[in-house]
Structure 1
Amino acid sequence: MHKWIKLGLTAVLMFLLALTGCATGTDQGQGGEAPAEQPAEQQPADEKKDVTITFGVTPWTSTVPPTQIARLLLEDMGYTVKLQDADAGVVYTGLSKGDIDVFMDSWLPDMHRNYMEKYGENIEDTAVSYPNGELGWVIPTYVEGINSVEDLKGKEDLFGGKIYGIEEGAGMTITSREMIKTYGLNLQYVPSSESGMLAQAKREIGQNNPVLFLGWRPHPMFVNWDLKVLPDPKKFFKTSEVHVLTNKGFKEKAPEAHAFLKKWSIPVEDIEAMIVQINDGKDPREVARAWIDNNQDKVNEMLGK
């Protein structure tokens, strides 16, 4: 009899111990002492190695510095980065299809309006890189008495009756010819390549002569010379903001990278200074790394540190 009582008590004790173990395991499984869940905007380093981020790179000098800086920072974060050279139309098509993840040099709202109207449904406007992407007619600051396009009326001879521009068919060329007619200016538009136009401007500026030509920022011309963009009261040329674009699936694909680009910004003067260095033969990656090293506070702000 005592034997059966002992056996019964032992069975009850074992059953209670089993219940206690199950309860403890359940508590841990529900987060009692289990590791906290990873924040949505962070990815483990081993997962990042499996993510390739593709940048669209247009053949514009202004595209290179921000792309290289973002590339190096993303590689430092553990991502694999690929650069795809293409014209603007191909870049926007790639963004809309998801073949391209990031574009660092979108000129909005006007210059790239047609692309955004066509492809914007599948593209995210992620950040403003810099707000002062100017373009228009420029003169050296030493030329007095000309403070807007309207002031050119009756003073065309000061510039030899010429405005130097870029190739036929370019948007700025077409717009400039329309401006000459609309403002009633006695100017001859002299088309050339960008380098040809700048060579002519360099000759005139070297002799301290008045000269009228096309300009846009960012561009090293604003580093090399003291220039001013003439205000255009009829708004043929409008100041653009330069934006960072990503495809709509990028945030889910690379949340930490997306969070970084969401905070992206850089002064236009820094872009111009880097363009000059690259044009002088320096390696773009080295120029970008030097900017990172010299702007750690700005970098940490963008990285959310």
Structure 2
Amino acid sequence: MSRVRTSGILRGLTAAASALVLSAGLAACGGSDSASGSDDKTISIGIPSGWDEGIAVSHLWKAILEDEGYEVETETADIGVIFTGLAGGDFDVTFDTWLPLTHKSYIDKFGDDISDLGTWYDDAKLTIAVNESSPAKTIGDLKTMADEYGNRLVGIEAGAGLTKVTQEEVVPTYGLEDMDYVISSTPAMLSELKSATASGDNVAVTLWRPHWAYDEFPVRDLEDPEGTLGDAEEIHAYGTKDFGERYSDLEDLIGAFTLDDEQLFSLENLMFNSGDDVSEEEAVDQWLKDNASFVDDLKEKAVLS
């Protein structure tokens, strides 16, 4: 059930300007049927477990959609479950698809049954990270320096694209088969990273940018001279195959959505790294207060797209 929010999506505009922007947005996004409110008003967001940027953005959109009168359902699951559910209609949208490398296998499998709603971030990177004071400089150094890292490379969820790339590309290319590649979960990986850096121990983990861990812990990326982790990627939103038919108002709005580094990192830090017991909803509310024109600007971009 949707919660009642006290701050509206059109905060910061006068009532007349708000009505003008909203009216223009509905006409541009959906035509006469959309303007009459024919779109579905219940929407389900699939949130990939462990990927903090996806969690943060999903809750941001939950707040935006609730302010627009939608009943929003969310479910957190492994990324493979998310794509299966999206293709089968169990989810309507997901906001954390990395392309062209990380989630390529899922797009290859389900691409005909889902729809690309656009790119909202374009500088995402998969990494192997170590504590700042440790000796390795490249991923290949781990082969000869494995003992310095307890002979372990700490990973995340089994179904994550990062896990698949590490298993299929990183490990064989750099000859890391003798290291214990620990496939666990993102919280477990971050817990080990926190513990090791606090105690001054060496640690090697699979990680990615953007992530608040780079601000919180003394870590750095290992060089990847063979390019096994790929170049910078884009993060896309994906919807069901018929998303545009059922949510014509939202298709252009989501397509106009972007975050820069400062916006994304500030949202993540509020949600995961504030040091307080802050819920996702409270973090989003604070972020929207700190970025008072964000949703209004998004609506204007959607109108102009």
Mean CA deviation greater in 170-179 or 212-221: 170-179
One-letter identity of the residue aligned with 2:283 = V
**1:41 correspondence with 2:29:** yes
Cα separation, 2, equivalents of 1:237 and 1:253: 37
1:283 aligns with 2:292: no
1:170–1:121 Cα change, 3 Å:
closer
Quick check: 2:97–2:238 contact (8 Å CA) kept in 1?
Answer: yes
Report sequence identity in percent: 27
* Offset at residue 293 of structure 1 (A): 1.9
Stretch of structure 1 that moved more, 283-292 or 84-93: 84-93
Which position in structure 1 is the counterpart of 2:151?
162
TM-score normalized by the length of structure 2: 0.72
Q: Which has the larger radius of gyration?
A: 1
Displacement after TM superposition at 1:184 (Å): 4.3
Read off the aligned partner of 1:101 and give its amino acid letter: D
Amino acid aligned to 2:50: W
**Paired letter, 1:119:** F
Give yes or no for the alignment of 1:183 onto 2:174: yes
In structure 2, list runs of 5 or more residues that go unmatched: 1-23
Other structure's SS at 2:29 match: coil
> Following the alignment from structure 1 to structure 2, what is the Cα–Cα distance between the partners of residues 220 and 57?
18
Secondary structure class of the residue paired with 2:27: coil
Is 2:73 the partner of 1:88? Answer: no
What corresponds to 1:149 in structure 2? Answer: 139
Name the CA distance, whole Å, in 1 between partners of 2:177 and 2:245: 56
1:55/1:180 CA distance change after superposition, 3 Å: closer
From 283, 287, 293, give the equivalent of 1:297. 293
Q: Which residue of 2 aligns with 1:249?
A: 242
Instruction: Give per-residue Cα distances to partners, 1:146-167, cap 9 Å, x unaligned.
Output: 443245565555x246333137
Letter in 1 for 2:224: D
Aligned counterpart for 1:137 among listed residues 117, 125, 128? 128
State whether structure 2 residue 206 is matched by structure 1 residue 206.
no
Cα distance change on mapping 1:271 and 1:236 into 2, 3 Å: farther
* Structure 1 portions without partners, runs of 5+: 1-35
Displacement of 1:186: 9.4
**In 2 relative to 1, CA 257–148 (structure 1 residues): closer, same or farther, beyond 3 Å?**
same
Inter-partner Cα distance in structure 2 for 1:258 and 1:91: 19
Aligned pair 1:228/2:216, yes or no?
Answer: no
CA contact (8 A) 2:140 2:175 kept: no
Question: Which residue type is aligned with residue 272 of structure 2?
Answer: V
Give the C-alpha shift of residue 180 in structure 1.
4.8
Instruction: Return the letter of the residue paired with 2:284.
Output: A
Following superposition, the deviation at residue 260 of structure 1 comes to 1.0
Alpha-carbon distance change, 280 to 120 in structure 1, aligned in 2, over 3 angstroms: farther
Q: Normalised by the size of structure 1, how large is the TM-score?
A: 0.72
2:206 counterpart of 1:217: no
1:88 CA displacement = 2.6
| Deviation at residue 197 of structure 1 after TM alignment | 4.1
Matching residue of 1:73? 64
Cα deviation digits, residues 232-279 of structure 1 (max 9, x gap): 122222243221112232223222211110011223423531441589
Secondary structure, in 3 states, of the residue corresponding to 1:304? helix
AA at the equivalent of 2:42: T
Q: Report the Cα distance in structure 2 between the residues aligned to 1:167 and 1:74, rounded to whole angstroms.
A: 30
